[in-house]
Amino acid sequence: MTRDAEPKEFFFEDGGKIPNNPNLPLLLYPKALEERDPSNIKNLLAGNGWSGAWVNGVFPYHHYHSTAHEVLAVTSGSARITFGGPEGETIEVASGDVVAIPAGVGHFNAGSSGDFVVVGAYPDGQAWDLLIGEPGERPESLENIRNVPLPSSDPVFGDSGSLPERWGF
């Protein structure tokens, strides 16, 4: 179902509108999934402590979650996703790739193929919010980001995955 993929790390500075995360890197697991069936991927994520799964795309505007970390598992197609806000980095993702996004890190679909689909999920017990960088949301969002608990395991590889080491738990 999965391949032992060494993730690539990306750190993003506070962009003003999008706070990003000062302590945790975004992790991109290239070609981590051989499985492409969304139901099976939801089960894999749930078995590794990531729930609230949904199947769709990525919003075509800069946004972030201050109350939850998020995982995106690409089941089909490809997309250019800008992470880290308007001054961030645009990364090409494709079927089989998985991205672990720390709370606070912005993401934006900068263009995708017509068949682009992801399964998204959040660590068990975390309820996501949807923020777009409005000035009034910043003070509370910064406090929220500091207080989001770390997940119990790697979303794809469970206890043997890279996330615990890379995120320091």
Over residues 6-41, the pLDDT tens digits come to 899 999 999 999 999 999 999 999 999 999 999 999
pLDDT tens for 123-169 read: 999 999 999 999 899 999 999 999 999 999 999 999 989 999 999 98
Distances (CA, A) of 81 to 23, 37, 41, 62, 94: 21, 22, 21, 10, 10
The predicted pLDDT at position 122 comes to 98
Range of the domain at 68: 8-159
Q: Is residue 3 part of a domain?
A: no
Average the pLDDT over 111-116 and give the result: 98
Q: Is residue 92 part of a domain?
A: yes
Structure tokens that stand for 11 in this block: 């750190």
Contact in structure between 99 and 28 (CB atoms under 8 Å): yes
Q: Is residue 169 part of a domain?
A: no
Provide the mean pLDDT of the chain: 96
Q: Is residue 1 part of a domain?
A: no
The predicted pLDDT at position 124 comes to 96
Distances (CA, A) of 151 to 48, 70, 116: 10, 10, 27
Q: Is residue 32 part of a domain?
A: yes
For residue 122, give the CATH number of its domain: 2.60.120.10
The total number of structural domains that make up the chain: 1
Q: Is residue 144 part of a domain?
A: yes
Q: Is residue 165 part of a domain?
A: no
